[in-house]
Amino acid sequence: MGVDASILKALREAGDGGVSGAELAQQLRISRAAIWARIEELRRLGYEIVASPHQGYRLEAVPDALHADDLLARLGPVRSVGRDIRVFQETTSTNDVMERLARDGVAEGVVVFAESQTRGRGRLGRTWLSPPNSGLWFSVLLRPNLRPQAATQLTVAAATALVRAIRRQTGLEPEIKWPNDVLVGRRKVAGVLTELAAELDHIRHVILGIGVDVNLAERDFPEGLRATATSLYLETGRRCSRAELAATLLEELDRDYQRVTQRRFPELATEWEGLCSTLGRTVRIHLGERVLVGRAEALDEDGALLLRTEHGTLERIMGGDVTVEK
Ligand code: BT5
């Protein structure tokens, strides 16, 4: 952990009691002058750090911005996801940035956030709305030892982690719409884009792109999305700390990723099935030109949806667009 992350962590742990410059200097093994210089820099970034002769430094308020050091300081112990965090003010798409890092051979677990995306995307080249400073738009690089067909397990992991993190931070009860949507009150609040680089028999890397509408107001959504999309702010009436949610989300994602890599997918699938509003319903699935109608029955061991068609056959579905009929 870097110096700024360690300072923020110590300030947070000290709470109202504060922590003296001398204590910080001793903990971090740098001079008090160096601590003071870093505190000045953090203040410049918008952290309100008050200094008093008796209590030392106290963290009064944090900016509503994403900072890599702050996110690292908030994060509990993680095995892979979030070991390395990078934040950009603006990118085309965080998945593009990650693709370049992946090709450069960066280790798995790195996370790239952007405050805004100019070409955020969904599946099949669709557009993902990503206005500045109001959502979480990020990508995670994974290098699992899995067959390419099992990559859907990671979308399942991401959706489940999203539900738990949103629940922990807001008390809302989101639902999963297979394969990659997280809904609150039937409106989409988050989506997952899983991009894969693979050989025939093994995955080279997976980029999990995750978008969460956190503090978007009604006016932030274009007319065409207002009926189908929502934000955590619109659902709770309260602004949510993006940094806090991001840290929670990375912790939950790390946990579910371990379940996938340690071959504990059945456990994850059971949790997912309890959260998924698509199961047990009659659905229409558009797979390019093909349309299938049937009952969504369960997930198989790769994370594919098992659909009992109107003709009684069982089909394994890996992707596609779902409309719930009844
Ligand atoms: C998704 O695609 O739901 C995947 C979204 C993944 C976004 C993240 S953000 C970080 C990373 N970098 C990227 O460039 N992408 C990932 P799909 O199931 O195809 O849904 C796309 C559809 O959702 C669009 O056609 C719109 O109808 C709707 N939509 C677009 N922006 C939205 C938003 N912010 N909130 C809710 N719905 C949205």
pLDDT at 96 > cutoff 80: yes
Structure tokens at 217: 């107001």
| CA–centroid distance, residue 125 to ligand 1 (Å) | 10
Query: pLDDT-based confidence at 55, cuts 50/70/90?
Result: confident
DSSP 287-317: ETTEEEEEEEEEE-TTSPEEEEETTS-EEEE
Least confident segment among 1-10, 35-44, 90-99, 170-179: 1-10
| CA–centroid distance, residue 5 to ligand 1 (Å) | 31
Look at residues 298, 295, 325, 324 and name the one whose alpha carbon lies nearest to residue 310: 295
Summarize pLDDT for 159-179 with one digit per residue, the tens. 999 999 999 999 999 999 998
What number does the ligand 1 atom closest to the CA of 95 have? Answer: 12
Mean per-residue pLDDT for 108-130? 97
Is residue 251 within 8 Å of 85, Cβ to Cβ?
Answer: no
Closest Cα to atom 15, ligand 1: which residue? Answer: 121
pLDDT at 89 > cutoff 90: yes
User: Who's near 126: CB < 8 A, 6+ residues apart?
Assistant: none
| CA–centroid distance, residue 54 to ligand 1 (Å) | 50
| Substitution site in 94, 99, 128 for ligand 1 pocket (most atoms within 8 Å of beta carbon) | 128
Whole-number mean pLDDT of the chain?
Answer: 95
Is residue 158 within 8 Å of 253, Cβ to Cβ?
Answer: yes
Which residues have any ligand 1 atom within 6 Å of their CB? 93-95, 117, 120-123, 126, 128-130, 137-139, 180-181, 188, 191-193, 209-211, 213, 225, 229
Output the pLDDT for position 53.
85
| CA–centroid distance, residue 322 to ligand 1 (Å) | 15
Look at residues 21, 2, 1 and name the one whose alpha carbon lies nearest to residue 11: 21
Query: pLDDT-based confidence at 76, cuts 50/70/90?
Result: confident
Output the pLDDT for position 325.
84
Long-range contacts of 123-129 (CB under 8 A, 24+ apart): 123/180, 123/193, 123/319, 128/191, 128/193, 128/211, 129/220, 129/221, 129/222, 129/225, 129/229
Query: pLDDT-based confidence at 289, cuts 50/70/90?
Result: confident
Output the pLDDT for position 131.
97
- Percentage of the chain lying above the pLDDT 90 cut: 90
Look at residues 51, 44, 64 and name the one whose alpha carbon lies nearest to residue 4: 44
Closest Cα to atom 34, ligand 1: which residue? Answer: 129
Cα angle vertex 86, ends 238, 240, to 5°? 5
Output the pLDDT for position 319.
85
Between the CA of residue 317 and those of 123, 145, 152, 276, 289, what are the distances in Å?
16, 22, 10, 16, 14
Is residue 183 within 8 Å of 189, Cβ to Cβ?
Answer: yes
| CA–centroid distance, residue 324 to ligand 1 (Å) | 19
Mean per-residue pLDDT for 259-281? 94
Closest Cα to atom 3, ligand 1: which residue? Answer: 191
